[in-house]
Amino acid sequence: MKIEFHPQALEEMFESARYYKSRSVGLGEDFLEAVEETTRRIEQFPNAGPVATKDIRKRLVFGFPFSVLYNQHEQTIYVVAVMHQRRRPGYWKSRL
């Protein structure tokens, strides 16, 4: 399966990495690696993530208060959001 990011999901991921980088050396890279590991798990087991809404599943990003929200198409997993778990729930729904 191929992983594709919504442009805004990609931007929020990099914005969060910049924030973590400003807090501690190497933390931004750790965040990006954790998101990458999460997307690898999604790729291997796309149906393992719990259903967040009708067509959207989510997986937690290990070590960070973030979730990767995604839906699955025939040959593609589309990442809708890299969402902080305590901020603005549902903001990403307009991306569908």
CATH 3.30.2310.20 fits 2-85, yes or no: yes
Yes or no: say if 78 and 71 are a contact pair by the CB < 8 Å rule: yes
pLDDT beyond 90 at 80: yes
What's the pTM? 0.91
Q: List, for residues 49-78, the tens digit of each pLDDT value.
A: 999 888 899 999 999 999 999 999 889 999
Q: Which two tokens stand for residue 5?
A: 């990011």
Sign of CA dihedral 71, 76, 82, 88: negative
